[in-house]
């Protein structure tokens, strides 16, 4: 990478990190190219991004941002995952780490909050924004459905009574 490319990467990564809800860092020593492609594919499907970059460049990108405190754990072969949804990147990295012990989560940052490994695991256990939206819609729709059922019940009972009278008249 030439010097101009490095400057461009640092600026681009800085802007990406600023607009992301979360940045997760993990060691990936021993992962095969196929494993990395699988991780990238899972992250892309979920709406996040996986990036392998030199720690020195990432530290420069994080300098003077809310996530600058994350620089302390950036040593060794590090892979980065980020997403707009604060839960997505943590969840994908955690799930992949459970399947493949060569991916070791080191920590992460969510805004100005620096997370250790346990913090990333706790974040991964939370429902995503889409799951929360689904639950809210279900909660909002449930009372309306129940009201409709209650209003339809008397009409249904009345229809059954008329039907029973009609059946009894035919039997007589």
**Nearest by Cα to 80 from 100, 61, 101, 99:** 61
Taking a C-beta distance cutoff of 8 angstroms, is the pair 117, 106 a contact?
yes
Sign of the dihedral defined by the CA atoms of residues 89, 92, 94, 97, in that order: negative
Q: For position 163, what pLDDT does the model report?
A: 75
- Fold topology of 3-126: Alpha-Beta Plaits (3.30.70)
Taking only the tens of pLDDT, the chain with its 172 residues reads: 788 888 899 899 899 888 888 899 999 988 899 999 999 999 999 889 999 989 999 999 988 888 888 888 888 889 999 988 888 889 999 999 999 889 999 999 888 888 888 888 888 888 777 777 777 777 676 676 666 666 666 666 666 766 776 776 665 5
Could you state, in order of their start, the residue ranges of all structural domains in the chain?
Answer: 3-126, 128-172
User: Model pTM greater than 0.85?
Assistant: no
Task: For 28-73, write each residue's pLDDT tens digit.
Answer: 988 899 999 999 999 999 889 999 989 999 999 988 888 888 888 8
Taking a C-beta distance cutoff of 8 angstroms, is the pair 106, 56 a contact?
no
């Amino acid at each position: 990478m030439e010097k101009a490319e490095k400057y461009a990467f640092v600026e681009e990564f800085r802007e990406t990190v600023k607009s992301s809800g979360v940045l997760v860092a993990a060691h990936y020593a021993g992962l095969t190219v196929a494993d990395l492609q699988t991780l990238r594919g899972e992250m892309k499907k979920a709406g996040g991004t996986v990036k392998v970059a030199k720690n020195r460049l990432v530290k420069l990108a994080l300098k003077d941002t809310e996530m600058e405190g994350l620089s302390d754990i950036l040593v060794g072969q590090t892979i980065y995952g980020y997403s707009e949804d604060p839960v997505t990147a943590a969840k994908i990295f955690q799930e992949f780490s459970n399947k493949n012990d060569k991916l070791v989560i080191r920590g992460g940052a969510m805004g100005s909050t620096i997370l250790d490994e346990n913090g990333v695991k706790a974040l991964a256990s939370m429902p995503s924004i889409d799951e929360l939206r689904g639950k809210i819609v279900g909660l909002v729709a449930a009372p309306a459905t129940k009201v409709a059922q209650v209003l339809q019940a008397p009409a249904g009972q009345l229809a059954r009574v008329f039907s029973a009278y009609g059946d009894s008249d035919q039997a007589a």
